[in-house]
Amino acid sequence: MADIFDSFELKHLKLPNRVVVAPMTRMQCGTEGIPTDAVIAYYRRFAEGGAGLIITEGVYTDTTASKGYFGEPGIVNGAQEAGWKKVADAVHSAGGLVGMQLFHTGRCSHSKIIGRTPLAPSAVPAKGMHASAGGPMEMPEAMTEAQIEESLQGFTDSSRKAKASGMDCVEIHGAHGYLIHQFYYSDSNTRTDRWGGMIENRIRFPVELVRRVRAAVGPDYPVLYRFSEFRVDDLKYSHPETLDIFRALVPALEKAGVDVFHVSTYDAFKPFHDTGKPLLAHVREMTKKPLVGVGKLGEDPARARELVRSGLAELAALGKPMLANADWANRVRTGQPLTPFEPMMMARL
């Protein structure tokens, strides 16, 4: 049985343990989207604290419509790339490894953020209020072929920049109701062209995206892919097609070049709907690639250890517990007590 403190090999990377810092939106990079000294120190602390792999917050991939929050970092120009190189250098100097999460918010953006109408697969708005811009979510504009191509190119170019900045891997954010996720489901993707309709068409966008990213970063560079059922605009979202979508999506993404699947849930062990087993167990049946599990794993370290020991996932990702304990891995390894998470911790780095 593996343990969270066993090493793990991911292509050319050798992770010292199976503890992953989950990507968390922090919105601390100012108007230019460049990591500040405080952001650099924030990521360095996780490396000093013993985490096996750090995945950055979501980073926007084009200047047209991908950005979704004030203060969100980008990877679309030389200044941003240089800023992320400082992050990578700081993490590496502390003995850590870091990967960049690339994402496009799609209909979850806002005209106050990007200066234009948000783009989405179809003119179907997200629910609720915008967390950063305030006010209700806006009606998005259905993407044209040219806009789809531009967004694909944005991911491709950004993956090259991420690699050039010294990032050890990239993670494609296909979860939580953002652009890629919006393509999966028939209630957010009502297109009748090659990007919509049957499931095989609705997953065409992420598959093509991964194929291009793989070509851009080369065969030996790790590419992770994160997906979920729930959405940021509807935390209780469920859909009867979900498992059918994932059964088509996961093998297609594996063929396109994904090395690791990051399965995002609120509770890694909770049965998925009425199936009697967690979503991770379903995904395990769809692929032999390594899995990252996340969801209520950090408050009680025994849960993270059980996740790995049981074989449900190879890697255990932690979010809020890491904000309370940047040195979570070192504390658990040495039997030290953990600091409980408090909501005010989200407001500061």
Q: Which residues are registered as beta bridge partners of 100?
A: 170
Q: Where are the beta strands (DSSP E) in 185-301?
A: 223-227, 260-264, 291-294
Q: How many CB atoms lie within 10 A of CB 251?
A: 13
What is the C-alpha separation between 200 and 217, in angstroms, rounded? 25
Looking at this protein, which amino acid is placed at residue 280? Answer: L
Q: Which residues are registered as beta bridge partners of 136?
A: 129
Q: Which residues are registered as beta bridge partners of 21?
A: 54, 318
What is the C-alpha separation between 227 and 286, in angstroms, rounded? 14
Q: Could you confirm whether 178 is annotated as catalytic?
A: yes
What is the C-alpha separation between 343 and 349, in angstroms, rounded? 13
Cα Rg of the chain (Å, integer)? 19
What is the C-alpha separation between 21 and 315, in angstroms, rounded? 10
Looking at this protein, which amino acid is placed at residue 140? Answer: P
DSSP string spanning 5-59?
Answer: TS-EEETTEEESSSEEEPP-----STTTT---HHHHHHHHHHHHTT-SEEEEEEE
Task: Match 């090493």 to its residue by tokens.
Answer: 7
What is the C-alpha separation between 22 and 174, in angstroms, rounded? 14
Q: Where are the beta strands (DSSP E) in 137-181?
A: 141-142, 169-173
Residue 119 per-residue DSSP state:
E
What is residue 287's three-state secondary structure? coil
Which residue out of 60, 178, 185, 221 is catalytically annotated? 178
Q: Show which residues are catalytic.
A: 178
